Amino acid sequence: MKKISILALIISLFASAFAIANEVNVFNARHYKADAEMYDKFTAATGIKVNLINGKSGALEKRIAEEGADSSADLYITADAGRCGAMDAKGLLQRGLSSATIKASVPQNFRTNKWVGVAKRARIIYYSPERVSGAELSGLTYEGLADPKWKGRLVIRKSSNIYNKSLVASLIANNGKKATAEWAKGVVANMARTPKGNDRAQIMAVAAGEADIAVANTYYLALMLSGKKGAEQQAAAKKVKAFFPNQQGRGTHMNISCAALVKGAPNKANAIALVDFLLSPESQEHFTNNTFEFPMIGGVSPSPLVVNNLGLDFKQDLATKVSTYGKNQAAALEVMTAAGWK
């Protein structure tokens, strides 16, 4: 009886060890039903269970930091390279997020050996075709948003918004902190209202005539046009047009949704396998058709809503490494705050 009990214990321990090895823990700050569907497909294809811990980025980052070596997190998946960069700066990530798939699929400026982009987005300008002329748009750059001709005509989110912090961080990388500080003053002087609301609220403000131009991410327009956010937002989206800045220079500011390898990840190999899966054509098509982001890999087309309303023929900024967004985050917030950007 004793021998049988010991044997049963050994079998039980082995089974538990196998179960642990056959899972991956994802701390997820992306709140899309489509993402959960993709993780289910990964489990069906590999047998690896995805344990999904959903939450806001700040709460998840705090939890990972507080748990330290006891954290069960394998991957931290979030929107914006600035967040992955901030995690890295806190020493919460580890090297080793590398595979043949990652190296072949993701351009170097969209990855490090600790985190990698799984989808792309651009932060662009939306305008009212009734109130903004072609001459005003011609050659427009992010730097040009500080031009006095836009006084009282611009809407944009708060300075604390991660998308804005990364945009300004990229300007610091390209133009220096001093020049960007002066630019921020010009942008504040041109605002039609005190910053409020999300990206969709900026687009709606232009549609309602509260402003002539807005800064927002590309996927929001397609999301509104899809009708998933209601008839009012769908109608508003039809009243604006998209413009890609800096086409005659470095190209339009690009950002990513990223997957980061957490320090001490208990299921590192499974984490890398999941990232490889997210970079497969099947997953990339799932991203583009459901979240309206741009694909990270070649050979996959964006959603028809994106193609038809934003187009594909635009120059991306592929020279500015998105890793600089995290490094310049504090400086970006500093210059915006100093300029009076609420």
83-95 pLDDT per residue, tens: 999 999 999 999 9
Instruction: Give a yes or no: residue 310 inside a domain.
Output: no
Work out the pLDDT band at 9, boundaries 50, 70, 90. very low
Tokens of 237: 């989206």
- Which residue segment(s) compose the domain that 116 sits in? 2-120+256-302
pLDDT at 21 (0 to 100): 63
Average pLDDT over residues 63-81: 96
Tokens of 187: 């942008």
Instruction: Give a yes or no: residue 153 inside a domain.
Output: yes
Tell me the one-letter amino acid at 196.
K
Task: Identify whether residues 128 and 205 lie together within a single domain.
Answer: yes
Instruction: Give a yes or no: residue 308 inside a domain.
Output: no
| Residue 17 pLDDT > 60 | no
pLDDT at 133 (0 to 100): 94
Rounded distance, CA 39 to CA 32, Å?
A: 11
For the chain, what is the domain count?
2
CA torsion sign for 167, 169, 172, 174 is negative
pLDDT at 33 (0 to 100): 86
Task: Identify whether residues 78 and 151 lie together within a single domain.
Answer: no
Tokens of 27: 């701390």
Q: Structure pTM?
A: 0.91
Task: Identify whether residues 281 and 295 lie together within a single domain.
Answer: yes
Rounded distance, CA 139 to CA 168, Å?
A: 19
Task: Identify whether residues 143 and 290 lie together within a single domain.
Answer: no
How many other C-beta atoms lie within 10 A of the C-beta of residue 117? 26
Task: Identify whether residues 15 and 160 lie together within a single domain.
Answer: no
Q: DSSP character for 332?
A: H
pLDDT at 19 (0 to 100): 44
Instruction: Give a yes or no: residue 48 inside a domain.
Output: yes
Task: Identify whether residues 202 and 277 lie together within a single domain.
Answer: no
| Residue 18 pLDDT > 90 | no
Average pLDDT over residues 59-71: 95
The CATH number linked to 114 is 3.40.190.10
